[in-house]
Structure 1
Amino acid sequence: MSLLDRRTVLRVGAVAAVATLAGCADTPDTGSPTPSPSTSDETPGTPTTSAPSQTSNAPNWKALSSSLDGDLYLPSTSGYAAAHQLFNPRWDSVRPAAVVKAATASDVQQAITFARESNLVLVPKSGGHSYVGASTIAHGLQLDVGGLKSMKYANNTLTVGAGARLYDVHAFLDRYGQSLPTGTCPTVGVAGLTLGGGQGVHTRTYGLTCDRVVAMDVVTADGKTHTVSAGNEPELFAALRGSGGGNLAVVTSFTFSTIPGTKLGFFRLTWPEAQAAAVVNGWQQFVQSAPTTTWGNLHIDAKSNGTLAIRVLGVSTTGDATAAAAQLESLVGAKASGRQLSVKSHLEAVKYLGGGTTSPRQGFLAGSDVLKGPMDAATITAVLGAVKSAARAATPASAIFDPLGGQAAKTPAGGSSWPWRSALAVIQWYSSAQGQNAQTFIANGHRAVGSFSAGGYVNYPEAGRAVSSYYGASAAKLQAAKQKYDPDNFFHTPYTF
């Protein structure tokens, strides 16, 4: 089984042969979408268009370094090249003026204050998986919170630093028989995933990752610390739950309400290309009618021989996926040509879905659409045609449909800015290629779904797409929060609202 088979939760992160899971090519750790294509001569969307104007005096890097518990990396410093890297190598050529590797929340305050006083654009970085490279910036200050990764559990509550990686979080919670509804990529940072929403196999049963947040420690643009919750600065709390990172504040710590880390039942069903339309139609009915304990994402993959691979990877939080698999086959109207059922413990499932305990860096190009409701026959045909065109062009490409509904359809106590509660699914258009063919595939995907798209998922941003398309009806209240907590627009890269 390729790693692509194991990609399921946050987004896809795969490439036909060398694939990884959703989170791995999916979660922006701090990023939000860009309002217009980059004018850089590097890859589209390269975050080099927001270089700040410089003050008359050069930044006093020595003073900043002496104020930190963590480390400061300059272009002349040993280790700088590795320090500013993101998950996707396509951003390696972007060179920040400096990188702060924070060791404490105080370091975050110092970095923000220094950037303000030095007139530097600052971007935070957690896991570094942003689709558009939003956690790096040419000539600006990159603030890496990866060192903030302490974890504490008590009474069904996890307190975790913003830089903790998903596998480490799950391995820690497994000691207590607990879990969280998250994405799958083991190296995704908890901050980016959570702030943008956070989808996974538990989404329909327990909601989004952001829905489980009960409190956050944050540093706002004025360098002040806040502990926000439903009862303390509720406007900022709700705004941060689902709007993406790097917009309003830098989170240093999250407190989550955990879920039981029980066994999961898995099914993996495949069908021949001739039944592709029936599978898509049946899957749509499945998402609408299956119990909230059931989740299954649909993959339409371009194969190197010019054909399509059609499959659904599903999970039942009851621990037995037999009934769920049978229900899907019934709605498709045809037995699967390939059928696998299994049961896995919590940590076995985490490793299976994530392709292991870590993930290698990889290049990719991706985009998204939020599916308002079931597609009609013509739209299904168009979607299949978009992937088929990529297959015929020998372009590795996938359309991955992650289901919503169930608990994800309910706004959590304390509010949320995630705007797609009534949607059917999130589609990710993903290619491990990064040239014109990949861009054409993503554009064809957008056109295929047409009026059935409500917008895009902020954790799957792409260059050239309007920021407003990621926020829907939440846009106005997010702008109000921006005016209150960042009136001077300190957080102002091409990817922030």
Structure 2
Amino acid sequence: MHATDSSFEGRVLTPGDPEYAPEVAGFQTGFALRPARVWAARSAREVAEAVGYAAEEGLPLGVQATGHGLPDAAEGGVLVSTRRMDAVRIDPGARTAVIGAGARWGQVVEAAAPHGLAPLNGSSPGVGAVSYTLGGGLGILAREFGYAADRVRRLEVVTADGRIREVTAGSEPELFWALRGGGHGLGVVTELEIGLVPVARLYGGALTFDASAVDPARILAAYEAWTRTVPENLTSSLAAVPYPDLPALPPRLRGAYLISLRVAFTGGAEEGERLVAPLRRIGPAVTDTLREMPYTESPSIHNDPASPHAYYGDSAVLSELDVRAAAELLAATGPAAPMMCVVQLNHLGGALGREPEPPNAVPHREGRFLVRVLAVLDGTDRAAARAHFAGALAPLAPVTTGRFLGFAFGGGDRGEGLYPAATRERLAALKRTYDPGNLFGGPHGGQG
């Protein structure tokens, strides 16, 4: 069978087509995709046709919705573009959402909000909801409600044999376990059904400090001590960003090194003010955006960049936050670093530390913090960024228990530390069952 004479009703694009370049473009611009064919799918049936074509031709197959989590550059093979499969259906009575493979979190948040409900989305509204959830999904309400993968009720999946499967805890329990947290490379997930939570508003925002006026080590120590006192319905993170001295930036950001403490609390505003009071005593804040807000405005807490760019990133799950070692990390990634680096510390624990029922493949639940490091690849190659991160993260090695799949940006060639040995062996056994020919294991495998 050839794509040009199949019953496929969408578009099959090749490098010579004018629509090809915008179809393969994604949020990550640092690693180019150059597939031989792009299937612009609109349904699970059309995805199944693409899988059948790739299997018959012996070609690797990858999937892209938004391109945020692109694992690597790739040449040849088949790419299934799911961006048109972006339907979102809310069942307010059951408190569930059915999400298409191409839907972004912003769409789900907006659809759930009129019913006083919210998904366990991440900080950026532009990230694909399905790919995010397959990798675990560490969101802004995580300490209270757990990982996004913990709330999955059902998945529609096209496996390497071309079958469209409905996967639940009852129908295929092993595959259901694996897809929730280890789902990349076992098939193409075309639809998810997830549970929603009754959150319509929250108290949140960020306190931002100028690191030239307030010692970063002092901020770290105060933040670490503060996290030991907060309830589970408060999720927070610390971000350190050194801005270049460029005319295009606003004057207040040019050459600044800013450290922000970001908060999302589902309790009342009065209690929120009491809880953040110790953070305000750290020192003078450059900005203070803490306030009560509707959940639809929650992206303002992190204010993630919306424009596509090139980046490389890695992560480390920490059993504890060694403040002295973390200060060394900030020194190595701050203004004196050879490239622009962004560091984020996520406070874990709470519901994140508890296994859901039924269990899933999300690893490292014992972690107390997650550190994420990201380099902007603007004149810097990935090898240089990786080498720099290895040295910068070294002081934290004694308290590092692993890495987190959802934040291994551009690390498609590095699998160590993502899962404990038993989980890795269990996933490998399922790979042999559902994808024995490694159809989804090519250079652009996964679902981003």
Normalising to structure 2: TM-score of the pair?
0.88
Match of 1:463 in 2: 411
428, 434, 440: which is aligned to 1:479?
Answer: 428
> What do residues 406-459 of structure 1 show as CA deviations (whole Å, max 9, x unaligned)?
111111112111102110122111122341564454233332322222221111
Counterpart AA for 1:382 = E
Match of 1:385 in 2: 331
Match of 1:255 in 2: 193
Match of 1:314 in 2: 263
Q: Distance in 1 between matches of 2:70 and 2:339?
A: 19
Counterpart AA for 1:77 = D
Query: Is the partner of 1:427 in helix, strand or coil?
Result: strand
Deviation at 1:316? 0.9
RMSD between aligned residues: 2.4
**Which residues of 2 match residues 393-404 of structure 1 at below 5 A?**
393=337, 395-404=339-348
Q: Is 1:324 equivalent to 2:259 in the alignment?
A: no
Deviation at 1:303? 4.1
Q: Distance in 2 between matches of 1:228 and 1:250?
A: 12
Q: Distance in 2 between matches of 1:421 and 1:184?
A: 20
Query: Is the partner of 2:235 in helix, strand or coil?
Result: strand
Q: Distance in 2 between matches of 1:433 and 1:185?
A: 20
Deviation at 1:61? 2.9
Kindly tell me: are residues 235 and 336 of structure 1, through their superposed partners in 2, closer, same or farther at Cα, counting changes over 3 Å? Answer: farther
Q: Is 1:454 equivalent to 2:401 in the alignment?
A: yes
Contact 1:263 1:319 in 2 (8 A): no
Counterpart AA for 1:479 = A
Match of 2:2 in 1: 60
Query: Is the partner of 1:108 in helix, strand or coil?
Result: helix
Query: Is the partner of 2:204 in helix, strand or coil?
Result: strand
Unaligned runs of 5+ in 2: 246-254
Q: Distance in 2 between matches of 1:350 and 1:167?
A: 9
Deviation at 1:287? 3.0
Query: Is the partner of 2:416 in helix, strand or coil?
Result: helix
Match of 1:374 in 2: 321
Deviation at 1:213? 0.6
177, 182, 187: which is aligned to 2:126?
Answer: 187
Counterpart AA for 2:375 = S
Deviation at 1:336? 4.7
**Which residues of 2 match residues 136-175 of structure 1 at below 5 A?**
137-154=74-91, 155=93, 156-175=95-114
Match of 1:300 in 2: 240
Query: Is the partner of 1:214 in helix, strand or coil?
Result: strand
Unaligned runs of 5+ in 1: 1-58
Deviation at 1:284? 2.4
Match of 1:176 in 2: 115
Q: Is 1:408 equivalent to 2:352 in the alignment?
A: yes
Contact 1:121 1:492 in 2 (8 A): yes
Normalising to structure 1: TM-score of the pair?
0.80
Counterpart AA for 2:340 = P
Kindly tell me: are residues 433 and 491 of structure 1, through their superposed partners in 2, closer, same or farther at Cα, counting changes over 3 Å? Answer: closer
Q: Distance in 1 between matches of 2:412 and 2:156?
A: 32
Kindly tell me: are residues 82 and 494 of structure 1, through their superposed partners in 2, closer, same or farther at Cα, counting changes over 3 Å? Answer: closer
More divergent stretch after superposition (73-82 vs 105-114): 73-82
Deviation at 1:495? 7.0
Match of 2:248 in 1: none
Q: Distance in 1 between matches of 2:320 and 2:4?
A: 55
Q: Distance in 2 between matches of 1:69 and 1:170?
A: 31
Q: Is 1:281 equivalent to 2:232 in the alignment?
A: no
Contact 1:70 1:104 in 2 (8 A): no
Match of 1:12 in 2: none
Q: Distance in 2 between matches of 1:496 and 1:456?
A: 19
Q: Distance in 2 between matches of 1:163 and 1:89?
A: 19
Contact 1:304 1:394 in 2 (8 A): no
Kindly tell me: are residues 440 and 488 of structure 1, through their superposed partners in 2, closer, same or farther at Cα, counting changes over 3 Å? Answer: closer
Q: Distance in 2 between matches of 1:174 and 1:392?
A: 43
> What do residues 111-130 of structure 1 show as CA deviations (whole Å, max 9, x unaligned)?
11110001111011122112
Contact 2:120 2:142 in 1 (8 A): yes
Query: Is the partner of 1:295 in helix, strand or coil?
Result: strand
Contact 1:182 1:208 in 2 (8 A): no
Q: Distance in 2 between matches of 1:411 and 1:496?
A: 28
Contact 2:220 2:327 in 1 (8 A): no
Contact 1:218 1:253 in 2 (8 A): yes
Q: Distance in 2 between matches of 1:363 and 1:109?
A: 31
194, 200, 208: which is aligned to 2:139?
Answer: 200
Q: Distance in 1 between matches of 2:200 and 2:114?
A: 12
Contact 1:370 1:423 in 2 (8 A): yes
Contact 1:219 1:250 in 2 (8 A): yes
Contact 1:230 1:413 in 2 (8 A): no
Q: Distance in 2 between matches of 1:131 and 1:298?
A: 25
Query: Is the partner of 2:208 in helix, strand or coil?
Result: strand
Contact 1:316 1:324 in 2 (8 A): no
Query: Is the partner of 1:469 in helix, strand or coil?
Result: coil
Contact 1:404 1:424 in 2 (8 A): yes
Q: Distance in 2 between matches of 1:286 and 1:366?
A: 27
Match of 2:439 in 1: 490
Q: Distance in 2 between matches of 1:344 and 1:173?
A: 16
Contact 1:266 1:342 in 2 (8 A): yes
- % identical aligned pairs: 26
Q: Distance in 2 between matches of 1:444 and 1:244?
A: 30
Contact 2:120 2:148 in 1 (8 A): yes
Counterpart AA for 2:361 = S
Match of 1:445 in 2: 392
